[in-house]
Structure 1
Amino acid sequence: MIMRPGQQLLLPANPVFIGASLVLALLINMAENIGLWGRAPWVPDLLAVLLVFWSVHQPQRVAIGTAFVFGLCMDVHQTSLLGQHALGYSVLSFLAIAMHRRLLWFTVPSQAMQVLPLFGVAHLIELLLRMAGGGTFPGWSLLVAPLLESALWPLVSIVLLAPQRMAPDPDKTRPL
């Protein structure tokens, strides 16, 4: 892949780190739903943000099947319509993989603007499935969640790419 000027060459991502970050995001989502804010519609879905991030940066390791399994876990945890989050996460992962080569050419703030529609589509799918299953409309505060998720994108990029930026054996002759 041709890199843009000034972009740092990254080390390969550790599969254990990828899996641990996704499981941690799942646990944080579960903790948010249990106690902190309840199931407020404006709360950002951290698992969705990490699924998009890893689908963009590691599409061979985190793909649609991974998103589907984590979506089923969220459906079971929230006792929502089975497949609601699974379909939303799967579509989110598909769209992220479809645009991952183009997205990596942008700066991180520009990437946040590019992934905003993806998060909006995922929330729209979940809302439509909830409404089709007989649920009530959660309110217009649902529009805040995709904005918060895209605002989290730069922070997530910094934190999750930090281990890949470290040199395995730093010395003065190797600037990686």
Structure 2
Amino acid sequence: MAPDLLLMVLCFWNLHEPRRVNMLSGFVLGLLLDVHGGALLGEHALSYVLAIYGVGLLRRRLLLFGPWVQLIHLLPIWLLAFIPSRFAHAWLAGEWAGWDWLWSAVFMAALWPIADLLLLLPHRLMDEDTESSA
């Protein structure tokens, strides 16, 4: 039920710095998270790659909007990214993990404006310093 903060940060930086944070970094971090958490190998990696791909598809549109409208676009991306890995987990492990992934995506969307504010804060402070010194 907890939000996937790593996925949210990966999507944020893929939106703002797509050449530095891409699907490969999402795949590698997803595999590391699977190994760390003892999940089926590739479960988180699949979700992360799908979510980053969705953000990459909508990148130009998302950058036109503020964080409140971005969360409306990102919620379906996160929901659709979680679905294949959850069904694969249910099929391969033989157990249904429940509907916590749905609430996790909703909480991630609710936290998106806060993440946008905090992660872009250093850039905003540098812009203010540049404007004040010029």
Structure 1-normalised TM-score? Answer: 0.70
**Whole-Å separation in 2 of the counterparts to 1:139 and 1:172:** 52
> Which of structure 1's runs of 4+ aligned residues deviate more than 2 A?
138-142, 167-174
1:163 Cα deviation after fit: 0.6
Correspondent of 2:10 among 42, 51, 68:
51
Look up the equivalent residue of 1:103 and give its one-letter code. L
Is 1:126 paired with 2:126? no
Cα distance in 2 between the residues matched to 1:74 and 1:160: 22
1:148 aligned partner, one-letter code: F
CA contact (8 A) 2:90 2:97 kept: no
Amino acid aligned to 2:125? M
- What whole-Å deviation, never above 9, does each CA across 1:78-130 have from its counterpart, x for those lacking one? 11111111111011111111111110111210101110011111221220120
- The alpha-carbon distance between structure 1 residues 135 and 159, as it changes in their structure 2 partners (threshold 3 A), is farther
Give, in angstroms, the shift of residue 141 of structure 1: 3.5
Contact 2:30 2:43 in 1 (8 A): yes
2:112 corresponds to 1:153 = yes
Identity of aligned pairs, percent? 35
Change (3 A) 1:134 1:149: same
1:121–1:173 CA distance, 2 compared to 1 (3 A): same
Q: Normalized against structure 2, the TM-score is what? A: 0.91
Q: Does 1:101 align with 2:60?
A: yes
2:44 paired with 1:85: yes
Paired position in structure 1 for 2:25: 66
**Distance of 2:24 and 2:126 partners within structure 1:** 32
Q: Which residue among 90, 98, 102 is the counterpart of 1:143?
A: 102
Q: When the two structures are aligned, how many residues end up with a matched partner?
A: 133
Distance 1:151 1:135 in 2: 31
RMSD of aligned C-alpha atoms?
A: 1.6
Q: Give the Cα–Cα distance (whole angstroms) in 2 for the partners of residues 118 and 109 of structure 1.
A: 15
Of the two, which has the highest radius of gyration?
A: 1
Residues 171, 54 of structure 1: CA spacing in aligned structure 2 closer, same or farther, 3 A cutoff? closer
